[in-house]
């Protein structure tokens, strides 16, 4: 059995073309604004140095996976590491490997995973975060054609 739809009411007036164009333009403006509002804010690492961007992605993944070899690649020891009052430096590669969980606490891992490094005036990069009322800054420097982990210090460099 066929379905019949009622005829449109004759009292309804068709919208003028100018109104339709205005509505379409308004809708497009809303979509454009929403796309800018929802777009991630790019850090210096995102828009600047492609060598750093590539290294940073590998470094973040190594930290998240707790891959000691991936994290300490290119690091020069001893290295400043001010994570607690007892831990002020990483003395050697073997010290780093043996005590990785002490140096990379869950807080450090979380902040590296979510970090957006900023380029410093000296060309190095750093992320800074606050935990328990203390500021921490992890720095990365260019060395031998690539970037490497440089230090973790309490406060700002």
* Residue 31 is assigned to a structural domain of this protein: no
Query: Which has the higher per-residue pLDDT, 128 or 9?
Result: 128
**pLDDT tens digit string along 77-124?**
999 999 888 888 999 999 999 999 999 999 999 999 999 999 999 999
Q: Residue 117 domain-assigned?
A: yes
In a domain, 94, yes or no: yes
pTM above 0.75, yes or no: no
Residue at 37 is within a domain = no
Over its C-alpha atoms, the chain yields an Rg (Å, rounded) of 27
Question: Looking at the domain assignment, is residue 150 inside a domain?
Answer: yes
Sheet with 134-143, edge to edge strand ranges? 118-119, 125-131, 134-143, 146-154
Instruction: Please check whether residue 27 lies inside any domain of the structure.
Output: no
Q: What are phi and psi for residue 16, nearest 5 degrees?
A: -65, 150
pLDDT per position as a tens digit, 130-144 = 998 999 999 999 988
Domain that holds residue 64: 44-154
Domain total in the chain: 1
Query: Residue 36 falls within a domain, yes or no?
Result: no
- Flag whether pLDDT at 145 surpasses 60: yes
Q: Within a domain: residue 139?
A: yes
CATH number at residue 79: 3.10.450
């Amino acid at each position: 059995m066929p379905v019949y739809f009622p005829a449109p009411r004759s009292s309804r007036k068709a919208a003028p073309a100018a109104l339709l164009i205005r509505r379409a333009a308004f809708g497009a403006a809303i979509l454009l604004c929403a796309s800018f509002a929802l777009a991630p804010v790019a850090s210096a690492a995102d828009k600047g140095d492609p060598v750093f961007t590539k290294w940073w992605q590998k470094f973040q993944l190594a930290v998240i996976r707790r891959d000691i070899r991936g994290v300490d690649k290119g690091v020069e020891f001893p290295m400043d590491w001010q994570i607690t009052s007892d831990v002020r430096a990483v003395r050697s590669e073997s010290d780093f490997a043996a005590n990785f969980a002490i140096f990379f606490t869950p807080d450090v891992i979380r902040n590296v995973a979510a970090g957006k490094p900023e380029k410093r005036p000296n060309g190095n990069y750093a992320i800074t975060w606050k935990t328990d009322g203390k500021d921490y800054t992890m720095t990365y420097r260019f060395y031998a054609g690539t970037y490497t982990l440089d230090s973790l210090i309490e406060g700002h460099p």
